[in-house]
Structures are given as C-alpha cells and as structure tokens.
Amino acid sequence: MLVFWTCLYILNKLFNLKKRGWEIEPGILLIKTRKFNRIIDRIARKAPNLWKKIWNVGIGAGIIGMVLIVGFLTYNFIMLLSPSAAEINAVLPLIPGVTVGGETLLQIIIPLIIIMVSHELAHGIAARIDKIKLKSSGFLMFLVLFGAFVEVDEKQLQKKSAKSQMRVFSAGSFANLMVGFFTFTIFINANIFLSPFYSSTPSGVLIQDVSLGPTMGYLSPGSVIRAINETPILDTNWLTLYMWNTKPNQTLRIITDSPLETMILQLYPVKTWVYNYYFGQPLPIEIFPKNSSNNILPNRDEVIKNNRGALGVSISNHYPADGFLGFMVSWLGPIFYFSIIKTISWVFILSLGVALFNLMPIPLFDGDKLWVTLVNKLTKTQKDMTNNSDDLNSKNNNKKRKYTKADIIINIVRIYSIFLFLGSIFITVLNMITGNFDLSVFLG
C-alpha cells in the first residue's frame, strides 16, 4: 500500500493529475468528474414525480432504519457483555487487509461497487429532482478504504425545505435497502432466475472448499461427487444421509467427474466434539490414543464407536449448465454457479449492512444529517445543518452560544450511538485478542 501511494504521488508530480480532476493528498485520493452528473440528470428528468414519491418513502424507511440500528446495537452490546457472547455478536468495520482478508476481499469487490454506485446515484437523483446543483461526482480513497461520492451544492441544499433535505440524506440508504431486497428475491429464487443457464434439478454435490482432512490432496474446489461406494449421490441431502451412517477410519470409494475420477480414502472423525477440547478440523484416527486417561483426547475406540466420519469439505448442490443459454456458462466450470450465488448473497448482506450502519446518528454518516434535520424540524429550530452535523470543532462552535433543546437531544443521541459503536468494536477486538472469538471464517 505504501508503494501504491508513493507511485501515485510521483505520477501526480510528473503529470499534474489535478488538471484531470485528480486531487491527491497524503493518504487521500479524489477523482472528480462531471460526466456522471449528466447521467444523473437524465435519469432524474425521466419521472421526477415518481422519484419524489420513492424518496418520500425513503424518509420514513430511513427514520425506521435509524431506530432499528440503534436498538440492535443496544441489544448486541448487552450480548457482547454477557457470558454467552459469540462470533455472531462481533462488530468490526470492513478494512481491506486488516479486518478483511484477500479471499473475502475478492468476493466482495463487485458487491461493493454495486452498493456504492446505487447509493451515490440515489443521492444525486434525490438532489436533482429538487433542483439542487451537483458540483461533481467520482471515486475516493482514504488509505486502504475506497468509495464513491456525489458532491451537492450545500448552499442550495440549505435553502430547501426540511423534507427536501431529508429526501437527499435518506436516499442512499433507501437505495441500498431496495438493492438488498431485490437481490434477496433473486437469491431465494435462484433456480428460476438462472434457469436459462442452469438446470433447476441438482446432479451431484459440488465441493466449494477443502479443509484439513482425508480429502486434502484428493478433492479440490469445483470437484463434483457423483457416487460413494456405488451409491449415487444426487444432492447434499443424499451425501449428508450417507455420511451420517459412516464411522471414523472407514474406507470410502468416491467417484467424481474430474473426469470420472475414483479415489479411495479413510474417513476422519467428524470435527464437533462433546469432550473438553474442540478440534477446528477433522483429525486422523491415529491422533487419538488407544488408552486415554487425561480427559483431553478421547479413547480411539470410543471415537470410532460414538462418532461419525468426516470428509472435511464445504459443499453445495451441483446444478449443471443447461437450458437454451447453457452453452454460455458451460465452459466456466461447475464452481461458477456457486460464485454467482455467493456474489448475490454478498450484495444482499452488504447492502443491508451499509444501509443500516449509514443511518446511525453519528457525525459524517447520512443518518446524522437526517437526525439533525428531523429534530430541528420537530422542534421548529432553524439552524445550519452542516455546521451542526459535521463541523463540531469549527470556528462557529468556538463562539459562545446558548444550546437549544434541539442541540441537547441531538448530542445525547449522538454520544450514545458513538459509545455503542466504538464500544462494540472494542469488546470485539478484546475477545479476538483473548481467543474468545475466532473470526477467521468470516474475515477470510
């Protein structure tokens, strides 16, 4: 990353990138353009009344979302402090290379682009239907974080009614919610939407990933299990039922289509244990002592008697390329279907997460601007939202002034939300350091 910023700085000095709309500061990159503005204008002009109705609904959705995310974080914070806290309660920002590993980062690049474009496009459309000028739009990067932006004319925005302002502030998150709802609909009806490309009937079991276990070196991501010991394996239910009746150290003959490859291997014990020690992966039977008295590793005969066999793989149903457009995806291999489904699921998860967290009443978030405008409207307080929301340490705030009822309400909720957010991150990191949380599966 240091090399990237160094090269960028050198290129800026050599070619004066500022003339091309590139603004480069230490650790900060802004690429501004007005071409995207023209696209936003054309979209906004198509059906301004319809867009206005949509963003009016967005105001209500934004307020409800704000209440939900603060309520959720309150409950989750209490859970993090309880003895029953688990990985599902973890709260961490997505920071490439820090909280998100390489494999996961590659999976979420396309979903993040979809989310950023839809978010900023919505802000732009909401601004233009109320005749608010767009100064620029483009791409931004801060150290290892990246995103998109639409820069509206703040002076024009402040002259608009509170309702117009709230339409602009809530539009981005509402667009993310709509994208999330749309992708969730596709996800639960994937067989229907992908039927022109893939069969709707599973044919075998697709190997998504191979962990440490008996299949390491034999199976690989993209392999398709067709049969085990002459028993056809038509889908994951068939495989689960077959494996339920296996025992550790049992020998299996697995037939795959790579191409019609046959392998013989011995099963490891399944990885979930009722003993004092937890194994993250299946282990060879030889690891377990013949006579155990230390109450850590169970007796080998006991393991074979009371446990099931494990392959040590992640699986899903295999849907072969079929339909009148099947030829377009057949050459991409069996794993491509799973990649599509995973991308759709990431779009849904991240859209929902970005929408709700962006609605938190914390300075710099859209939720804070929505919150400030809402409180000022309800208390009939006329105030410059920008100074109140973003410039807490500005010169205007250095002047002594009397705090209004709106200020008190706004700042109490802000402080509480910041406490919840940062406190949840702190407790999560603490649990990771002490080994109570293992987020490697999520962070990749």
Note the pLDDT of residue 263: 66
Q: Is the pLDDT of residue 78 over 90?
A: yes
Residue 334 lies in a domain: no
Q: Domain check: are 39 and 26 in the same one?
A: no
| 278 and 365 both lie in a single domain | no
Q: Which of 121-125, 211-215, 247-251, 377-381 has the lowest mean pLDDT?
A: 211-215
Same domain (yes/no): 134, 166 = yes
List CB contacts of 269: < 8 A, sequence separation 6 or more: 248, 282, 283, 285, 288, 303, 304, 307, 308, 309, 310
pLDDT band of residue 276 (cuts 50, 70, 90) is: very low
Q: What percent of the chain has pLDDT over 90?
A: 37
**Percent of the chain, pLDDT > 70?**
75
Once rounded to an integer, what is the mean pLDDT over residues 229-244?
89
Mean per-residue pLDDT, 381-390: 51
Residue 265's CATH number: 2.30.42.10
Q: Of 178 and 268, which is predicted with more confidence?
A: 178
Residues 268, 405 within the same domain: no
Name, in order, each residue with C-beta under 8 angstroms of 37's C-beta and a sequence gap of 6 or more. 124, 134, 136, 137
In a domain, 153, yes or no: yes
The pLDDT mean for the chain works out to: 81
* Inside any domain, residue 309: yes
Same domain, 86 and 157: yes
Domain assignment of residue 343, yes or no: no
373, part of any domain: yes
137 and 82 in a common domain: yes
Q: Which is more confident, 100 or 74?
A: 74
Which pLDDT belongs to residue 279? 44
> What's the domain count of the chain?
3
CB 233 within 8 A of CB 226: yes
pTM of the model: 0.79
* Residue at 338 is within a domain: no
The predicted model gives 191-197 an average pLDDT of 89
Which residues are paired to 333 by β-bridges?
none
Mean pLDDT of all residues in 301-323: 80
Number of CB atoms found within 10 A of residue 67's CB:
11
Phi-psi region of 27 (alpha: psi -120 to 50; beta: other; left: phi over 0): left
**Diameter of the chain by CA atoms?**
84
The pLDDT score that the predictor gives to residue 273 is 36
End-of-domain residue from the set 299, 318, 337: 318
Structural domain of 67: 34-189+348-443
| 291 and 413 part of one domain | no
Q: Is residue 336 part of a domain?
A: no
Is 333 inside a domain boundary? no
The model's confidence at residue 75, banded by pLDDT at 50, 70 and 90, is very high
What local confidence, expressed as pLDDT, does residue 97 receive? 61
**pLDDT for res 324:** 85
* Mean pLDDT to the nearest integer, 49-62: 95
Q: Which residue has the higher pLDDT, 218 or 354?
A: 354
Which has the closest alpha carbon to 370: 90, 64, 26? Answer: 64
Q: Does 314 lie in the same domain as 217? A: yes
Shared-domain flag, residues 45 and 29: no
Asked if the model's pLDDT at residue 231 lies above 50, the reply is: yes
Do 82 and 151 sit in the same domain of this protein?
Answer: yes
Residues 212 and 280 in one domain: yes
Q: Which H, E and C letters describe the chain, residue by residue? A: CHHHHHHHHHHHHHHCHHHHCEEEECCEEEEEECHHHHHHHHHHHHCHHHHHHHHHHHHHHHHHHHHHHHHHHHHHHHHHHCCCCCHHHCCCCCCECCCECHHHHHHHHHHHHHHHHHHHHHHHHHHHCCCCCEEEEEEEEECCEEEEEEEECHHHHHHCCHHHHHHHHHHHHHHHHHHHHHHHHHHHCHHHHCCCCECCCCCCEEEEEECCCCCECCECCCCEEEEECCEECCCHHHHHHHHHCCCCCCEEEEEECCCCCEEEEECEECCCCCCCCCCCCCCCHHHCCCCCCCCCCCCHHHHHHHCCEECCEEEEECCCECCCCHHHCHHHCCHHHHHHHHHHHHHHHHHHHHHHHHCCCCCCCHHHHHHHHHHHHHCCCCCCHHHHHCCCCCHHHHCCCCCCHHHHHHHHHHHHHHHHHHHHHHHHHHHHHCCCCCCHHHHC
184 & 46 share domain: yes
Q: How far is CA 363 from CA 18, 69, 400, 403, 417, in A?
A: 29, 15, 21, 18, 10
**pLDDT (mean) for 93-115:** 76
| Average confidence (pLDDT) over 176-191 | 93
